[in-house]
């Protein structure tokens, strides 16, 4: 668990675990020809809003609404593939959303160096330090009626002592600003909150706000979480993982 704190969430067996693969050829593209945004280092210092100490926190205004728009256009250009599942009866999280992914070490480094590296400068997981983002960058799209049921995220071993320890979500739509600017996310978003549980009790309900990053510890200490159903609008998310060494 993060920051040398005591306690932590135990994961019950039988809960749906999600391993996000980067080898889904149909939905994965190389970066060639994609209008991927190039992010400057954030000029203002980024603040951490702790929802469960350092195990769950948000970073407001990490991206501008314009940068979110560019990522949405990039994801649309990649093309979303539908993600379904057989559901909890088969030990799989209920899943109904679109997904696109790109394998991009350059984009992962760009996002990290834009300021996320500083956000993680005081976080350690069992004495290990954050060194960057998983270059397997995923985009999710949820339309009305779609959701991602309760599940936990697995840690992924990447070899040479590297493993992912945190999930990163960056909301690309949602909030008031994204309704009045841009094109793809102009419609008001209702629903789609990311909800975290500890022993069946709600720990946090996070409404998507364009540009806000959310981090939560995953693997052994991952909290059960879900993405609630969309009532109105379209939710877009950029997803990666923080790698520790
Ligand atoms: O889309 C969300 O809000 C949550 C996504 C999620 O739970 C995941 O990627 O594991």
Q: Report the 10 Å Cβ neighbour count for 181.
A: 14
The atom of ligand 1 lying closest to the CA of 206 is 3
- CA-nearest of 137, 145, 121 to 172 is 137
pLDDT, tens only, 176-230: 877 765 555 567 999 999 999 999 999 999 999 999 999 999 999 999 999 999 9
The atom of ligand 1 lying closest to the CA of 235 is 1
pLDDT tens by residue, the chain, 245 residues? 676 433 332 333 446 666 654 433 333 444 446 667 889 999 888 999 999 999 999 999 999 999 999 999 999 999 999 999 998 888 899 999 999 999 999 999 999 999 999 999 999 999 999 999 999 999 999 999 999 999 999 999 999 999 999 999 999 999 987 776 555 556 799 999 999 999 999 999 999 999 999 999 999 999 999 999 999 999 999 999 999 99
**Buried-exposed string 45-56: b where 16+ CB fall within 10 A, e elsewhere:** eeebeebbebbb
- Confidence at residue 187, expressed as pLDDT on a 0 to 100 scale: 77
Taking the C-alpha atoms of 104, 194, 216 and 243 in order, what is their torsion angle to the nearest 10 degrees?
Answer: -10
The atom of ligand 1 lying closest to the CA of 214 is 3
Q: How far does the centroid of ligand 1 lie from the alpha carbon of residue 129, in Å?
A: 24
Domains of the chain as residue ranges with CATH = 58-244 (2.60.120.620)
**Buried-exposed string 92-110: b where 16+ CB fall within 10 A, e elsewhere:** bbbbbbbbbbbbbeebbeb
- Confidence at residue 12, expressed as pLDDT on a 0 to 100 scale: 38
The separation between CA 79 and the C-alpha centre of its own chain, rounded to angstroms, equals: 18
Structural tokens at position 216: 């939560």
**Residues 66/107, Cβ–Cβ less than 8 Å:** no
Q: What is the pTM of this model?
A: 0.89
Ligand 1 is surrounded, with C-beta below 6 A, by 18, 140, 148, 153, 167, 169, 194, 225, 227, 237, 239
- CA-nearest of 59, 140, 51 to 96 is 140
> Which of 227, 230, 238 has most ligand 1 atoms within 8 Å of its beta carbon, as the pocket-test mutant?
227
């Amino acid at each position: 668990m993060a920051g040398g704190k005591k306690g932590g969430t135990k994961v019950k067996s039988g809960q749906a675990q999600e391993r996000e693969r980067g080898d889904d050829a149909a939905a994965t593209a190389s970066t060639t020809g994609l209008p991927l945004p190039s992010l400057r280092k954030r000029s203002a210092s980024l603040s951490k809003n702790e929802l469960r100490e350092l195990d769950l926190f948000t970073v407001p205004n990490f991206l501008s609404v314009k940068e979110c728009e560019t990522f949405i256009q990039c994801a649309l250009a990649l093309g979303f593939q539908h993600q379904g599942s057989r559901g909890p009866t088969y030990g799989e999280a209920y899943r109904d959303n679109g997904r696109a992914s790109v394998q991009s070490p350059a984009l992962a480094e760009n996002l990290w160096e834009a300021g996320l590296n500083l956000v993680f400068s005081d976080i350690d997981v069992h004495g290990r330090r954050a060194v960057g983002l998983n270059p397997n960058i995923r985009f999710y799209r949820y339309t009305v009626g779609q959701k991602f049921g309760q599940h936990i995220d697995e840690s992924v071993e990447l070899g040479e002592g590297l493993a992912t320890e945190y999930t990163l979500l960056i909301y690309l739509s949602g909030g008031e600003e994204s309704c009045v600017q841009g094109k793809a996310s102009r419609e008001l978003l209702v629903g789609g909150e990311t909800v975290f549980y500890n022993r069946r009790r709600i720990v946090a309900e996070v409404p998507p706000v364009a540009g806000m990053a959310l981090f939560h510890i995953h693997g052994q200490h991952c909290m059960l979480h879900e993405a609630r159903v969309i009532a109105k609008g379209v939710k877009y998310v950029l997803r990666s993982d923080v790698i520790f060494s």
